[in-house]
Amino acid sequence: MLYKYLLKWLFGAIAFLLILALLRFQPWQHLNSSLWGETSQTRIESLDVGFLPVTCHLTCPVTDYASRTSIDFRFDSQRYTDFPTMVESIRSGRLEATFMIVPLAMKLREQGVPVRIVYLGHRDGSTVMVRPDLNINNLQDLRGKRFAIPSKYSNQYLVIRRLMSEQGVNPEEINFVELPPPDMPGALSARAIDAYFVGEPFAARAELSGTGKILYHAKDIWPNFISCALVVHENLINRRPEVVADLVRGIAESGEWAENNREEAARIAAPYFRQDEAVVRHVLTRPPDRVSFQMLTPTDEELQRIHDIALESGILDKPVSMQALVDRSFIPEVIRPRTFNN
Amino acid sequence: MSDKLIHVQNVSHSFGNTTVLENVNLTISRGEFIAIVGPSGCGKTTLLNLISGYENPSSGSISRNGKLRMVYQQDGLLPWLTVIENVGLGIRHLRDAEEKNRQLKDAIELIGLEGFEQHYPHQLSGGMRQRVELARALTGESDILLMDEPFSALDYLTRIKMRNELVRLLKERPRTVILVTHDIEEAAQLADRIIPLTTRPATILTEKRIELEKPRSLTDPIVTEAVHDLLISLSPGSLPATEKTGIKAEEN
Amino acid sequence: MHQTGINRFQRRVLPLAVLLFVIISWYIISLFVPSNSVFPSPVDVFFGFLEEAGSGRLANDLIASLFRVTAGFFLAVFLGIPLGLWMGVQPFARAALLPTINFFRNLSPLAWIPFAILWFGIGDAPAVFLIFMAAFFPIVLATIAAVGNIPAVYFRVGSDYGMNRWEILKNITFPAIAPQVITSLRVTAGLSWLVVVAAEMIAGNDGLGFAIWDARNGLRMDLLVSGMIVIGLIGVILDRVLVQLTEIPSIRWGYER
């Protein structure tokens, strides 16, 4: 009796799992393509490229979108929700190309993970927001206030450190707290913090809802500020240099195109981000130079400057050589805007 | 084969340093109804376990002729089996399905639980459960019934009813019975031979025979006299007593 | 009337009334919060739900989460119950393994996330692994405890009626532990559902947990709340399904005492 019932349940459960597996992996799609005469030889190769759903990484989904129509190679943008998971994926060798903040790439290199910066993702694109009810016009007004940053390893922290020394504010005079970027607009409107510095669109959200006021754009503090770079594992460079070159060209052309087709770029990228298209559009267009997708070749001096601040603020324990870190050999000489054949 | 079904010879048993049974000798013949009585913890159940072969004696020997069945105090029914499945345990190796069904039907009729075949033990009253236990023990081939306090979990009136039920069942299905009980009344009403065990280490001092047709009335003078005698031999000075059984003996 | 408790009509209506009350209060509160990006109203959430359902993301996330939780949970059940049975009947195995199992049981499955990513990458495999880690040890321990709780008299009955070791395992031990094991399955299934959501938040690129995490990162509180509601509803349905196991006639006894 008991076993009869349990067997029934067992079969029911196995059927349930099988149906779920079928729905999940949809094997008929592969079947379909093989029925249509496509063999494994013509199967499209692909490379996963990691990114976070921030406006700074816009060129990654755009490149994904552009390569969908490619007949021989696809770049699949893999959305991550945080940098630690991304780092673990790189360490395990499952992710070989990704967008990443520059100090983190240096930290990885310092720890012996052979990654190289081959290109930049964007320039500028971060914003300092303050409470509109406080009369704050510079960093001196922020003395004794609570200032949120994404993390001590973030480039925003490095930038604000540099600006503080320019304005003569000591590091201990501002009360820094680490906060996940999505919580920053809410914390500001609840007055739990007085200011924050973060990549878009987490600043634009507060701006649009009127609960935050822009104090500085990154470009005002540090023109052509480098935040994120395209980081590639040396394994991929050694194994498939042509794929890396393709990727860099794709990012460059996507950036060139997005620079001048901002509304269209917002429309393409919004579904990749699960964000309001209106917010993405706002970030890209008001003002247009809030974030820039041009001049993406990093110079040694620029990176060295970030490196030195990172070393000084204790993010890096020992110096990292720029020769080992940067590889500019994949950057195309001429960059044409990407054309879309859809 | 002789008519001596059970032969207990010079058996002593101890758990660690505690001697529970000392030099017990007992012979039981076919068709006899033996009751082993004594205060709780005196070693009655140990003696039953030794007879059933569940435990081996520290010294001495026990020989058994014939097949044994055990009736437990309570919850000896397997709760995940229905009444009919529980009763069928004793004949589960029977190949002939027709014969099996016939025997099961007989057993259910015997205990008057028609209509309850598909019930589970937890859906029955305590008395009904004990009847199912009896039916299970009596179904299939067996010679000896070992009963360990079979009615002690029941209320008083049900217990008295179950004694008559047991007598009736044994008339239908004669078995040699060894009943372990602390209920002297029960022993006096049911047994042909009553063996009182002394306190630990238990040994057999006397035995009392009751030669009276069954079913016996609880108030039959022979029964009440036997209760009286047993009380005195088990617990001298307990009469007149405030104990339940003592009062009843006095009332009669 | 008062003593007899509640009738069927009340049983149906009362929960709905509470639900309605919660939704109306929620709506009223949301009227006083200026920005729906901080506190979405039920209407926002409803349209968010339609957006998710319409785009096909909801179906995809739902299937992903259910697949992971089912696969991980099955793995835990089919390895955990036999191991628990074995440890339950073999004092040697129990003595050797119990401390280790207890140790792992006390680790939050979420602590394994970095290793799950390192070993299995991102996607189905790490989530299945984490669910397995969440469900396996409690199931093993519950099975061991259940075996320990079997009254000795059942085994005696088994040997009285001439069962061999295999028959005792099949006809006594297993049926005797079934009610307790099923109770633990209900608990661990709920636990697995909690863990899948948490695991997808970190080591996923789809699934309901990822969906609400992603909605948070995308500052879409309406999608976040609609995801929360779907997760809660599925959890309730999973338990309703598993509760049917306790209705099996030869298991019912375990819940009637």
Same domain, A64 and A80: yes
Residue C256 in tokens: 């009637």
Residue C198 in tokens: 């948490």
Residue C218 pLDDT > 80: no
Residue C95 pLDDT > 60: yes
Per-residue model confidence (pLDDT) at position A41: 45
Q: Which of B124, B125, B89, A2 is nearest to C249 (CA)?
A: A2
In the structure, what pLDDT confidence band is assigned to residue C184 with cuts at 50, 70 and 90? Answer: very high
Residue C239 pLDDT > 80: yes
Residue B185 in tokens: 């009344």
* Model confidence pLDDT, tens digit, residues C129-182: 999 999 999 999 999 999 999 999 999 999 888 899 999 999 999 999 999 999
Same domain, A188 and A210: yes
Same domain, A118 and A230: yes
The residue out of A171, A199, A221 marking a domain boundary is: A221
Same domain, A117 and A132: no
Task: Find the helix or strand (DSSP H, E) in which B180 lies.
Answer: strand B176-181
The minimal CB distance from C114 to the residues A88, A205, A279 is found for A88
Share of chain C above pLDDT 90, in %: 55
Same domain, A206 and A234: no
Residue B57 in tokens: 């004696």
Q: Which of B223, B222, B240, B221 is nearest to B232 (CA)?
A: B240
Residue A321, Ramachandran bin (φ over 0: left; ψ between -120 and 50: alpha; else beta): beta
Residues contacting B113, CB < 8 A, separation 6+: B83, B128, B131, B132, B135
Residue C197 pLDDT > 70: yes
C35/C53 Cα distance (integer angstroms)? 24
Same domain, A282 and A137: no
pTM score, two decimals?
0.77
Residue B76 pLDDT > 80: yes
- Confirm whether A32 is domain-assigned: no
- Confirm whether A74 is domain-assigned: yes
Residues 265-294 of A with CB under 8 A from B: none
Point out which residues pair with C3 in neighbouring strands.
none
- Confirm whether A340 is domain-assigned: no
Q: Considering only CB atoms, which chain C residues are within 8 Å of B54?
A: 156
User: Cβ–Cβ of A182/C217 closer than 8 Å?
Assistant: yes
- Confirm whether A297 is domain-assigned: yes
B89/B69 Cα distance (integer angstroms)? 11
The minimal CB distance from C250 to the residues A2, A20, A82 is found for A2
* Model confidence pLDDT, tens digit, residues B96-106: 889 889 999 98
Q: B77 with B151: CB under 8 angstroms?
A: no
- Confirm whether A168 is domain-assigned: yes
Residues in chain B: 252
* Model confidence pLDDT, tens digit, residues B109-158: 888 888 998 999 999 988 899 889 988 988 888 889 999 888 888 888 88
Residue C55 pLDDT > 60: yes
Q: A148 with A187: CB under 8 angstroms?
A: yes
Residue C251 sits at the chain A interface (C-beta within 8 Å)? yes
The residue out of A197, A221, A245 marking a domain boundary is: A221
Sign of CA dihedral B155, B161, B164, B165: negative
Per-residue model confidence (pLDDT) at position A342: 47
Phi and psi angles of residue C224, each rounded to the nearest 5 degrees, phi first: -60, -50
Same domain, A208 and A133: yes
The CATH number covering residue A66 comes to 3.40.190.10
Same domain, A178 and A312: no
Residues 44-63 of A with CB under 8 A from B: none
Same domain, A61 and A199: no
C189/B239 Cα distance (integer angstroms)? 63
Q: Which pLDDT tens digits describe chain A residue by residue (342 residues)?
A: 788 899 999 999 999 999 999 998 888 776 665 555 444 444 567 888 888 877 777 777 777 777 776 666 778 888 787 788 888 888 888 888 998 888 888 988 888 889 999 988 888 888 888 988 888 888 888 888 889 888 777 778 888 888 888 888 887 888 888 887 878 888 888 888 999 998 888 888 888 888 888 888 888 888 888 888 889 999 989 988 888 888 888 888 888 888 888 888 888 887 777 777 888 888 888 777 777 887 788 888 888 888 888 888 778 888 888 888 888 888 888 777 777 654
In the structure, what pLDDT confidence band is assigned to residue C257 with cuts at 50, 70 and 90? Answer: low
Test the A interface: residue of C122, C174, C237 with most A CBs within 10 Å: C122
Residue A5 sits at the chain B interface (C-beta within 8 Å)? no
Test the B interface: residue of A1, A3, A5 with most B CBs within 10 Å: A1
A309/B204 Cα distance (integer angstroms)? 97
- The 3-state DSSP class for residue B96 equals coil
- Confirm whether A24 is domain-assigned: no
Per-residue model confidence (pLDDT) at position B2: 60
Phi and psi angles of residue A118, each rounded to the nearest 5 degrees, phi first: -105, -15
User: Cβ–Cβ of C253/B120 closer than 8 Å?
Assistant: yes
A10/A6 Cα distance (integer angstroms)? 6
Interfacial residues of B (vs C; Cβ cutoff 8 Å): 54, 68-70, 72, 75-76, 78-81, 89-90, 92-93, 120-122
Residue C44 pLDDT > 90: no
User: Cβ–Cβ of B92/C178 closer than 8 Å?
Assistant: no
Which residue in chain B is spatially nearest to C252 when comparing CA positions?
Answer: B80
- Residue-wise DSSP of B111-164: HT-TT-TT--GGGS-HHHHHHHHHHHHHSSS-SEEEEESTTTTS-HHHHHHHHH
Which residue in chain C is spatially nearest to B140 when comparing CA positions?
Answer: C161
Residues in chain A: 342
Residue C1 in tokens: 């009337």
Q: A101 with A86: CB under 8 angstroms?
A: no
A188/C201 Cα distance (integer angstroms)? 24
Same domain, A316 and A229: yes
Give per-residue burial for B125-135: e unless 16+ CB within 10 Å, then b. Answer: ebbbbbbbbbb
Q: Å from A5 to nearest chain B CA?
A: 13
Same domain, A254 and A119: yes
Q: Å from A83 to nearest chain C CA?
A: 10
What CA–CA distances, in Å, run from C200 to A61, C117, C208?
21, 11, 7
Instruction: Quote the number of domains for chain A.
Output: 2
Which structural domain, as residue segments, surrounds residue A280?
45-124+225-325
Over residues C110-128, the mean pLDDT reads: 84
Which residue in chain B is spatially nearest to A3 when comparing CA positions?
Answer: B80
Per-residue model confidence (pLDDT) at position C21: 94
- Confirm whether A130 is domain-assigned: yes
CB atoms within 10 A of CB C30: 18
* Model confidence pLDDT, tens digit, residues B214-248: 788 888 888 888 888 888 877 766 665 444 444 44
- Confirm whether A192 is domain-assigned: yes
User: β-strand B144-148 against B176-181: which pairing, if any?
Assistant: parallel
Per-residue model confidence (pLDDT) at position C7: 81
Same domain, A177 and A307: no
Task: Find the helix or strand (DSSP H, E) in which B181 lies.
Answer: strand B176-181
